[in-house]
Structure 1
Amino acid sequence: MSMLNDPSALQTIAVLSVIEQQLNGAIEQLGNVCAHAAGLARRTDWRTDAATRFHAGADSWGHDVAGLAGFVEDARNEVSAARVRIELRVWSPAE
């Protein structure tokens, strides 16, 4: 059955598209944070205990953020799949 008669379907598709774009932006920003954390760790002066601890902390934080990016990518993929499923129902011929 086609959902063309369901006005909320097209609105849902539009909202899901916006969410996808926002999640793409979040993934990009998390990538930037990871790169920044790695840069901070590389630039640390290794001659002090504090610098060694900072390096370890920045490195650990970068790995944690990278893990978050994976969760956001999974969420984006789920939103994308939901949008595609709705689009297929909207534009499929009525049975």
Structure 2
Amino acid sequence: MAKPNLIITVNGDMITIRSESTFKNTEIAFKLGQEFDEVTADDRKVKSTITLDGGALVQVQKWDGKTTTINRKIVDDKLVVVSIFKLLSSGFYC
């Protein structure tokens, strides 16, 4: 399986995350802590907020009563990404 290239750039208070893969390229630009509209790689229209917590970029995506949390952190010179998807308010996680 091919791994995407993830390019994170900072220009003042604007951060850009660009993902490049054979499947699809995506790019988001945001300010920490400010909600923004995002169209995901699978074409979902979500409201996202990204914060910095303990050296990790924590992204929360909300749409149609669902929530995904994506944590991105550098560990031993490698990017570790953990995603938590909350499907129902009753607490089903995968």
TM-score computed with the length of structure 1 as normaliser: 0.20
Larger RCO: 1 or 2 (CA < 8 Å, sep 6+)? 1
Quick check: which has more Rg, 1 or 2? 1
TM-score computed with the length of structure 2 as normaliser: 0.20
